[in-house]
């Protein structure tokens, strides 16, 4: 891996994005608690496992950008994925470094990006100074809340058998949810090979960002596979996916009408209510065959 020094070149920038560092041992992702469980008229005392979540601050060149509540795992992936999916950079090579600093009850993800991207972030922050609150932080108008989505590429050809095989195999690739029953997952599936990567988080957006970051940090792209989500397909999930060129998204739950319109606009195949023996195609069915 290249030595750092001076302004990162494209190869160094990619290497920096692949590294990341932790300031201390990672916190626990599960808490064990004493509970009272009522079942069929009987009350018993037991130990139960509950998913942890921490406030995770995102900093760009030391300047705070926002705080997310997230599962304290795979935070380097989260930092890279969030930066890309939110359009804060246009290319992974513009992410120069990601550092994770863990505290007792909080975490920080410190990210450095190409200077021109950082100055744009500072200008956005300057425009927001003095505002008392916002429903969608970082936007000033309703139109800005829905970013323009770029057309996705051709993407994969997916057989229904590939989709349903991945759905059937997803549960056993979710160890945190198996223990707690309360976290979402985002999985990357390659037709003919199955599930390759899974990331879990208490937040569905966070799980997707972690998956995007994991793919990018491994040097992989998004052209040959499809995204499988345990959550609903909301417009933010379409936006984030389109931002990195994901052409096929399948969700176990429902879509929203806005998500369907955005998928149509981006040329993205959108499948929802994806279960082991059924699914509904809402946009661009050409990539999915019934074989």
Query: 233-252, pLDDT tens digit by residue?
Result: 999 999 999 999 999 999 99
The 8-class DSSP code of residue 22 comes to: B
Structure tokens belonging to residue 88: 């804060």
What pLDDT, on the 0 to 100 scale, is given for residue 169?
96
φ, ψ of residue 16 to 5 degrees: the values are -60, -40
φ, ψ of residue 59 to 5 degrees: the values are -125, 135
What pLDDT, on the 0 to 100 scale, is given for residue 21?
43
E-assigned strand segments in 12-62: 30-39, 42-51, 54-60
- Concerning whether 134 is annotated as a catalytic residue, the answer is yes
Helix, strand and coil percent figures for the chain, each rounded to 5: 35, 30, 35
What b/e string do you get for 164-175 counting C-beta neighbours within 10 Å, with b at 16 or more?
bbbbebbeebbe
The answer to whether 70 touches 78, Cβ cutoff 8 Å, is yes
* Structural domains of the chain in order of their starting residue, each with its CATH number: 10-145 (3.10.20.10), 158-289 (3.40.140.10)
- pTM of structure: 0.85
**Block means of pLDDT (10 residues each) for the chain, length 291 residues?**
35 39 61 92 93 93 92 96 93 95 91 90 60 44 68 96 97 94 96 97 96 96 96 95 97 97 97 94 96 66
Picking from 289, 286, 262, 260, the residue whose alpha carbon sits closest to that of residue 272 is 260
What pLDDT, on the 0 to 100 scale, is given for residue 12?
36
Proportion of the chain above pLDDT 70, given as a percent: 83
Indicate which residue of 35, 134, 137, 148 is catalytic.
134
């Amino acid at each position: 891996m290249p030595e750092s020094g001076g302004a990162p070149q494209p190869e160094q920038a990619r290497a920096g994005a692949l590294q990341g560092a932790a300031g201390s041992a990672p916190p626990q992702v599960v808490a064990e608690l004493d509970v009272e469980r009522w079942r069929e008229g009987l009350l018993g005392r037991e130990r139960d496992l509950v998913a942890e979540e921490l406030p995770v601050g995102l900093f760009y060149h030391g300047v705070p950008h926002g705080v997310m509540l997230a599962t304290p795992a795979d935070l380097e992936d989260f930092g890279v994925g969030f930066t890309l999916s939110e359009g804060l950079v246009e290319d992974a090579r513009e992410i120069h470094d990601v550092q994770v600093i863990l505290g007792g009850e909080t975490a920080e993800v410190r990210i450095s990006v190409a200077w021109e991207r950082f100055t744009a972030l500072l200008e956005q922050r300057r425009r927001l100074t003095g505002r008392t609150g916002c429903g969608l932080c970082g936007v000033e108008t309703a139109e800005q809340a829905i970013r323009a989505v770029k057309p996705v590429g051709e993407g994969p050809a997916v057989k229904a058998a590939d989709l349903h095989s991945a759905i059937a195999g997803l549960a056993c690739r979710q160890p945190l949810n198996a223990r707690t029953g309360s976290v979402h997952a985002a999985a990357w599936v390659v037709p003919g090979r199955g599930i390759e990567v899974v990331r879990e988080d208490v937040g569905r957006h966070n799980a997707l960002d972690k998956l995007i970051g994991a793919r990018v940090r491994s040097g992989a792209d998004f052209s040959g596979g499809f995204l499988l989500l345990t959550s609903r397909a909301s417009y933010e999930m379409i936006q984030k996916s389109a931002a990195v060129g994901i052409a096929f998204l399948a969700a176990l739950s429902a879509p929203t009408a806005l998500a369907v319109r955005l998928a149509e606009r981006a040329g993205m195949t959108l499948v929802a209510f994806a279960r082991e023996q059924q699914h509904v195609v809402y946009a661009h069915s050409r990539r999915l065959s019934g074989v």
